[in-house]
Amino acid sequence: MSKRKNIKVLFFAPHADDIEMGAPFMCLEALKLGNNVTEVIMTNDEYGTKRNDFKGERIKRVRIYEMEKAAEVYKKYTSNHIKLIWAGFVDGFLPLNKISLNFVIDIIRKEKPDIIFAPDPWYAIDFHRDHLNTARLVYFALKRLKKSELPKRVFFFYSFKTNISIRIRFKDVKIAIESMSQHKSQISPLHSKLLLFFRRIFLIHKLIKTGAFLVRYRELHFIGGKPEKHVPIKSIRNKLRYCFFFKLSNHPCEELYTPIPEELGLIRK
């Protein structure tokens, strides 16, 4: 990423903590470079708790507060801020339809990002319906946009088929975890410490293997002004990876959002 202030970086997060989990180092780096950073949070996380008495508006308010706190951590270390946009879709029910697609298209047209980060739509490591739908909405939005409206680069996180390594600073792990730990309704202090420990181990392993602290993403390439098509998973290695993450996620695709007859235009108002 260039050290220019007029670079715009747009992050798409299915839920309030997904950038802290999936691309915290890129968010931090973009802010450090003085880039213009916007995060679109697609859902309000109204079901983001096991406690039924907290579900709905109550946990939604908590999640908004926690997200603002997480953004404050980035600001503390970079003196730059993230613009947060709440899309307002219901947690667990992010639709893959015209309304949500037009929302994503409009955001990209309005924000005019140079770089986009989003979850991987095709080679996902997390099969939560909101994650898949956020990812696919971004992909289909890019497909619909004109060549002149497209960002220069698009990177997917939560991907098992990565194709690009980006160098990060080891000390940034602590900041990333500090930001993640602001989502107190989602992560316990012990869980934060374990995450810090395992992320450090992961990066040290990378350093031994490659000579640098690296994180990996999948870059989407454009061919003739259109995003490249995904190819079926052919190698045994990637098939096994797909099965592993699919089983691990335990979010069966059959339970994906089902549109009601009104939304399908089957019932006239």
Q: Which residues bind Zn ion (CB under 5 A)?
A: 14-15, 18
| Euclidean distance between CA atoms 262 and 72, whole angstroms | 41
**Nearest distance from residue 66's CB to Zn ion, in Å?**
13
**Nearest distance from residue 197's CB to Zn ion, in Å?**
22
Q: Are 129 and 135 in contact (CB under 8 A)?
A: no
Q: Give ∠ CA 13-43-221 in degrees, rounded to 5.
A: 30
Give the residue closest to Zn ion by C-beta.
15
φ, ψ (nearest 5 deg) of residue 205: -60, -40
**Nearest distance from residue 189's CB to Zn ion, in Å?**
20
Q: What is the DSSP letter of 230?
A: P
- Return the number of the residue (15 or 60) whose C-beta is nearest Zn ion: 15
| Euclidean distance between CA atoms 174 and 167, whole angstroms | 16
Residue 47 CB contacts under 8 Å (≥ 6 apart), including other chains: 55, 59, 91, 92
- Return the number of the residue (24 or 206) whose C-beta is nearest Zn ion: 24
| Euclidean distance between CA atoms 119 and 135, whole angstroms | 5
- Return the number of the residue (129 or 218) whose C-beta is nearest Zn ion: 129
**Nearest distance from residue 131's CB to Zn ion, in Å?**
6
- Return the number of the residue (7 or 16) whose C-beta is nearest Zn ion: 16
| Euclidean distance between CA atoms 118 and 13, whole angstroms | 7
**Nearest distance from residue 194's CB to Zn ion, in Å?**
19
**Nearest distance from residue 67's CB to Zn ion, in Å?**
12
Nearest Cα to 167, choosing from 201, 212, 210? 212
| Euclidean distance between CA atoms 253 and 117, whole angstroms | 23
Provide the token pair at 148: 């002149």
Provide the token pair at 60: 């939604």
Q: Are 80 and 9 in contact (CB under 8 A)?
A: no
DSSP reduced 3-state for 209: helix
**Nearest distance from residue 14's CB to Zn ion, in Å?**
5
Q: Are strands 82-89 and 153-157 parallel, antiparallel or unpaired?
A: unpaired
**Nearest distance from residue 159's CB to Zn ion, in Å?**
15
- Return the number of the residue (126 or 178) whose C-beta is nearest Zn ion: 126
